[in-house]
Amino acid sequence: MVKKATSKASSKQSTAATPKAGVKRPEKAAAKPKSPRFQEKAPEAYVFWCCDGRKFCDMRELAEGLAAISDDTYTYHVNQEKNDFCNWVRDIILDTELADSLVLAASRTAAAQCVADRLAFLITECD
């Protein structure tokens, strides 16, 4: 018969992790949401390259680019399988609100309007 060895240190760790009755643990502060990088240019490694050769480095260029690209170029980047613009805005620009709007945009012009509206809103919020 082998007895399981227990150390006092391990017992202290297990009891220390258990809150005592009536003791309220401090709540963790909610993670501060990342602010959109709407005025910053994306690092060169993370710029958005369109299939037609255009390059977007920030939200302003994206708004102008969406208004100018062809519907075929837009459909290459946004279809049932993917939404490259949404992903770039969410992951690089860090604007989840705009990314959510881009998912719902039914066309290239609607997407361009979403970006232009969001950019205008963020600029007025900063003033």
Residue 77 lies in a domain: yes
The string of pLDDT tens digits covering residues 31-71 is 434 456 667 899 999 999 999 999 999 999 999 999 999 99
Q: What are the angstrom distances between the C-alpha of 15 and each of 7, 18, 20, 25, 41?
A: 13, 5, 9, 15, 51
Residue 80 lies in a domain: yes
Q: What is the DSSP letter of 117?
A: H
Confidence of residue 14 (pLDDT cuts 50, 70, 90): very low
Percent of the chain with pLDDT over 70: 69
Residue 7 lies in a domain: no
Residue 11 lies in a domain: no
Q: Domain range for residue 66?
A: 44-126
Confidence of residue 90 (pLDDT cuts 50, 70, 90): very high
In the predicted model, is pLDDT for residue 105 greater than 70?
Answer: yes
In the predicted model, is pLDDT for residue 93 greater than 80?
Answer: yes
Q: What share of the chain is helix, strand, coil (3-state, %, to 5)?
A: 55, 5, 45
Q: What is the pTM of this model?
A: 0.70
Q: Residue 37 has what pLDDT? A: 67
48 touches 37 (CB < 8 A): no
Structural domains in the chain (count): 1
